């Protein structure tokens, strides 16, 4: 069975996989539905995050990779409905992301090229970002309401 993951610099020597930091664990999202993965990638891009590529990979191979790398593979089934704030991060990234301006260099030192890009997890609560524009804020609330 294929799953869809978010890759940065896909196909290059600097290739990395998107991950989240949740309660001290590095979690890699494995989306069942390609559209869900693309939507998540679009949400990251809207937050000025580097644009990831959605890639279909074998689920068993991804779970083995995560296990061997010390990551947790988290399957996100089609039609997933979150039941907790932590689960909400599986369908929408947090509002605040870690600085990724030098992720390639940092990760090469730590993981020999394996990306552990993550966002603020529950132990680092994200603060709401306000644009100051009431119209934009109303639109943002509408989008959040869809989740």
The total number of structural domains in the chain stands at 1
Question: Of 10-14, 68-72, 96-100, which gets the smallest average pLDDT?
Answer: 96-100
Distance, in Å, from the CA atom of 6 to the CA atom of 18, rounded to the nearest integer, reads 5
How would residue 139 be classed by pLDDT, with cut points 50, 70 and 90? low
pTM (2 decimals)?
0.64
Closest Cα to residue 21, out of 121, 101, 138? 121
Residue 100: give the domain boundaries. Answer: 2-146
Give the range with max mean pLDDT: 67-76, 78-87, 122-131.
Answer: 67-76
* 109-128 pLDDT tens trace: 444 334 444 443 333 334 44
* Residue 54: strand pairing partners: 6
Six token digits for residue 54: 């959605």
pLDDT number for residue 30? 96
The C-alpha R_g of the chain, in whole angstroms, comes to 15
* 51-72 pLDDT tens trace: 899 999 999 999 999 999 999 9
Q: What is the mean pLDDT of residues 104-109?
A: 47
SS3 assignment, position 37: helix
Q: Is residue 38 within 8 Å of residue 45, measured between CB atoms? A: no
**41 contact partners, CB below 8 Å, separation of at least 6:** 6, 51, 52, 53, 54
How would residue 95 be classed by pLDDT, with cut points 50, 70 and 90? low
Closest Cα to residue 10, out of 42, 50, 40? 50
Residue 129, pLDDT above cutoff 60 = no
């Amino acid at each position: 069975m294929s799953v869809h993951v978010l890759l940065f610099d896909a196909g290059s020597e600097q290739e990395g996989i998107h991950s989240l930091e949740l309660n001290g664990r590095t979690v890699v999202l494995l989306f069942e539905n390609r559209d869900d993965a693309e939507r998540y990638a679009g949400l990251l891009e809207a937050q000025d995050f580097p644009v990831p590529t959605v890639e279909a990979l074998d689920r068993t191979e991804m779970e083995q990779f995560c296990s061997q790398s010390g990551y947790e593979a988290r399957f996100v089934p089609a039609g997933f409905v979150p039941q907790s704030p932590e689960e909400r991060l599986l369908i929408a990234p947090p509002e605040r992301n870690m600085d990724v301006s030098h992720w390639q260099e940092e990760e090469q030192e730590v993981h020999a090229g394996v990306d552990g890009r993550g966002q603020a997890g529950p132990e680092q609560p994200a603060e709401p970002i306000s644009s100051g524009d009431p119209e934009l804020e109303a639109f943002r609330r509408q989008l959040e309401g869809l989740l």
